[in-house]
Chains A and B, each alone.
Chain A
Amino acid sequence: MAVVYEKSRGLTDNPLTYCPGCSHGIVHKLVAETLVELDILEKTIAVAPVGCSVLAYEFFNCDGIQAAHGRAPAVAAGIKRTNTDKIVFTYQGDGDLASIGTAEIIHSAHRGDNITVIFINNAIYGMTGGQMAPTTLIGQKTSTSPYGRKEEQAGRPLLVSEMMAPIPNAVYIERTSVHDVANINKTKKAIKKAFENQINNKGFSMVEILASCPIGWNVSPVDGNKFIKEGLMPYYPLGVYKDEGGEN
């Protein structure tokens, strides 16, 4: 028998703390597989955020550190700038990166930190119980937008990739999704490129990944993936928003 697919050794044996059907587990696998395939696992430092993935350092089978809410890119800069031969990535949700950490993510790209950013956009604060995020859709009901998000009160959702791409030293910005296998495969390619860019000293790379939060959205896991496609993707178009790194 030939193994076609098995759990990556880039993941530890710690049981994932995510809810059933949550996309974090899928993205964790893709990152872990990439670190193994690029043979960089042992020299990688993962920077975990505050949010559902606060314990990500328990799951990636490499060195890991937990950062204050939104500050992961600054922590990553501190590590990477003083250890340029190592691989550093942040793993951040939309509350962490797109709300409290906007200054840190923008200036990390602005400085051109040679790091990889994995950005999970599920349009909600999951960990704290499903509150409105900057990425929550107009009309979307959350625990702090119980009547649906209203533009006049909260504005329209923040388009992070579109916002990051024009930053001069952002090298690679792509938005992908993990709602089906074809898109999971594309996401893996994007993650791989974001790490290859770092290996080749090309600079700041970020992959925004549309993700499901079935519990926060109050839908089944299967319907959660449908909502990525039918709810999120029309507002958050997938695609490469910037690629100045070229081939690796």
Chain B
Amino acid sequence: MAKVLMKGNDAISEAAIQAGCKGFFGYPITPQNEIPEYFSRRMEEAGGVFIQAESEVAAINMVYGAAAAGVRTMTTSSSPGIALKQEGISFIAGADLPCVIVNVSRCGPGLGGILPAQSDYFQATRGGGHGDYYTPVFAPSNVQECWDMVFHAFDVAEKYRTPTMILIEGMLGQMMEPCEMTKRPTYQMDKSWCVDGNADKRPRNTITSLSLYAEVLEQMNIDRFKKYEEIAKNETMVDNQVKDGDEVAIVAYGTPSRIVLNAIEELKADGIKAGLIRPITLWPFPSGEFQNLPSSVKHVLAAELSMGQMVEDVRLAVNGKLPVHFYGRTGGSIFEPVEIANKVREILGKGAK
């Protein structure tokens, strides 16, 4: 199939429509605005529903309703808006409903700025709202992967009945790249549990995250964590390019991982061997990769557009076996390859260039 030049935000939108998303509920916030704009143009002809909600809070609760009725549904926002959605995400997780949430992230805290950042890592990977839960988080690094990941995120959401999240930085949302718009078959979810007003064909259904009985709620949480174990076992994704002979493993996700690849090329010219580990799922984090690194690897470097968030997962995964270093830029600043290369040189006791 011919490739089309498109923005990450547009790729996510059209992929969602091709994947059968029939309910999109959003609210304007930069830098994700192309997504609700795209849905507002396309959704009617695609036979779905687009609503510009009065707030992010309302949008996520519309998603909660549509998901409960068995409709493939999605909302998108950016960092402060995702923070507003956390109440609803917690309810969706607590009610075991499937949906996809996209965070085209920007910098914070507070209003922060509209430039790209990866400082929502904790928010995304630690549940984000109240209570014991996780959302599987997918972090594509190019527009094609954005496209493919939307289909996958819906499938994982419905297969395990869980909210899933796609986390990209603003720059990937705004960036245009060639994308092959391949429609792929999607998971067919059983809908017998849905509150879709079909109580003439089955017993009535109810959906809630509430239980006033400790032993019942505890069991609900235990069962949900069994599901998370299954997700960790089956759905963890990583692009591990570390080879035997590499001295440094550099961990980076999303678009910054591509900058790291350039740094690795630069270092190669100096005779320094480094390799990239790119988590594609941020939760579940591909911790296993750090247990089986080649013996040549003496250092691990986490590179992120934050003050250091993913680095905590890297440290947990490395578990003290190797020194874990960190390099980050924040506030909308983006590191250049030479910054990463110099950090590696510093780690190895070699002079910066």
- Closest B residue to A54 by CB, please name it: B210
Stretch at the interface among A80-88, A91-99, A213-221: A80-88
Are the CB atoms of A67 and B61 closer together than 8 Å? yes
CA distance A71 to B49 in the complex (A): 19
* SS of A interface (majority): helix
Contacts of B198 in A (CB 8 A): 42-43, 63
Within 8 A of B (CB), among A18-76: 41-45, 47-48, 54-55, 57-58, 61-68, 71, 74-76
Is B237 part of the binding interface, using a Cβ–Cβ cutoff of 8 Å? no
Are the CB atoms of A61 and B66 closer together than 8 Å? no
- Closest A residue to B59 by CB, please name it: A74
CA distance A66 to B22 in the complex (A): 22
Is A77 part of the binding interface, using a Cβ–Cβ cutoff of 8 Å? yes
Is A78 part of the binding interface, using a Cβ–Cβ cutoff of 8 Å? yes
Stretch at the interface among A103-111, A129-137, A159-167, A176-184: A103-111
Q: What sequence of 0s and 1s flags, for each residue 152-189 of chain A, a beta carbon within 8 Å of any chain B beta carbon? A: 00000000000000000000000000000000000000
Within 8 A of A (CB), among B47-72: 48-49, 51, 53-55, 57-59, 61-69, 71
Is B207 part of the binding interface, using a Cβ–Cβ cutoff of 8 Å? yes
Query: Measured between C-beta atoms, what is the minimum distance from A169 to chain B in Å?
Result: 13
Are the CB atoms of B61 and A79 closer together than 8 Å? no
Question: How many chain B residues touch the partner (CB < 8 A)?
Answer: 40
Q: What sequence of 0s and 1s flags, for each residue 308-342 of chain B, a beta carbon within 8 Å of any chain A beta carbon? A: 00000000000000000000000000000000000
CA distance A104 to B59 in the complex (A): 10
CA distance A74 to B197 in the complex (A): 17
From B49, B61, B71, B208, contact of A74 by CB (8 A): B61
CA distance A82 to B55 in the complex (A): 19
Are the CB atoms of B197 and A63 closer together than 8 Å? yes
Query: Measured between C-beta atoms, what is the minimum distance from B138 to chain A in Å?
Result: 23
Chain A interface size band reads 35 or more
Contacts of B210 in A (CB 8 A): 54-55, 66
Is B182 part of the binding interface, using a Cβ–Cβ cutoff of 8 Å? no
Are the CB atoms of B62 and A77 closer together than 8 Å? yes
Contacts of B23 in A (CB 8 A): 78, 81-82
CA distance A79 to B68 in the complex (A): 8
Query: Measured between C-beta atoms, what is the minimum distance from A167 to chain B in Å?
Result: 12
CA distance A34 to B197 in the complex (A): 16
Query: Measured between C-beta atoms, what is the minimum distance from A199 to chain B in Å?
Result: 13
- Closest A residue to B22 by CB, please name it: A82
- Closest B residue to A84 by CB, please name it: B49
CA distance A111 to B198 in the complex (A): 26
Pair count A-B, CB < 8 A: 141
Given contacts A71-B61, A76-B65, A82-B66, contact A66 B208 (CB under 8 A): yes
Are the CB atoms of B195 and A63 closer together than 8 Å? yes
From B51, B57, B205, B207, contact of A111 by CB (8 A): B51
Are the CB atoms of B69 and A66 closer together than 8 Å? no
Are the CB atoms of B51 and A61 closer together than 8 Å? no
From B58, B66, B95, B199, contact of A103 by CB (8 A): B58
Of A48, A78, A86, chain B has the most CB atoms within 10 Å of the CB of: A78
From A43, A61, A74, contact of B62 by CB (8 A): A74
Of A44, A67, A110, chain B has the most CB atoms within 10 Å of the CB of: A67
Given contacts A65-B68, A65-B207, contact A78 B61 (CB under 8 A): yes
Contacts of B54 in A (CB 8 A): 103-104, 106-107, 110
Given contacts A83-B197, A104-B54, contact A64 B204 (CB under 8 A): yes
Contacts of B204 in A (CB 8 A): 61-64
- Closest A residue to B207 by CB, please name it: A65
Of A47, A57, A81, A103, chain B has the most CB atoms within 10 Å of the CB of: A81
Are the CB atoms of A43 and B197 closer together than 8 Å? yes
Contacts of A66 in B (CB 8 A): 95, 206-210
Of A55, A62, A71, A106, chain B has the most CB atoms within 10 Å of the CB of: A71
Are the CB atoms of B206 and A58 closer together than 8 Å? yes
Given contacts A78-B69, A81-B49, contact A63 B58 (CB under 8 A): no
Contacts of A74 in B (CB 8 A): 53, 57-59, 61-62, 64-65
Is B37 part of the binding interface, using a Cβ–Cβ cutoff of 8 Å? no
Are the CB atoms of A75 and B199 closer together than 8 Å? no
Query: Measured between C-beta atoms, what is the minimum distance from B99 to chain A in Å?
Result: 10
Is B73 part of the binding interface, using a Cβ–Cβ cutoff of 8 Å? yes
Are the CB atoms of B64 and A103 closer together than 8 Å? no
Query: Measured between C-beta atoms, what is the minimum distance from B76 to chain A in Å?
Result: 15
Is B283 part of the binding interface, using a Cβ–Cβ cutoff of 8 Å? no
CA distance A42 to B59 in the complex (A): 27
Q: What sequence of 0s and 1s flags, for each residue 206-240 of chain B, a beta carbon within 8 Å of any chain A beta carbon? A: 11111000000000000000000000000000000
CA distance A42 to B205 in the complex (A): 11
Other A-B pairs, 17, CB within 8 Å; known A41-B199, A82-B69: A43-B199, A43-B200, A57-B208, A67-B64, A68-B61, A71-B88, A76-B65, A77-B58, A79-B68, A79-B195, A81-B62, A82-B48, A82-B65, A82-B73, A103-B55, A107-B54, A110-B54
**Interface residues in chain A, defined as those with a beta carbon under 8 Å from any beta carbon in chain B:** 41-45, 47-48, 54-55, 57-58, 61-68, 71, 74-83, 86-88, 103-104, 106-107, 110-111
6 sampled A-B residue pairs with Cβ under 8 A: A62-B197, A62-B204, A63-B198, A66-B207, A77-B62, A104-B61
List of 6 A-B pairs having minimum Cβ-Cβ separation, nearest first: A78-B65, A86-B197, A78-B62, A74-B61, A107-B54, A66-B208
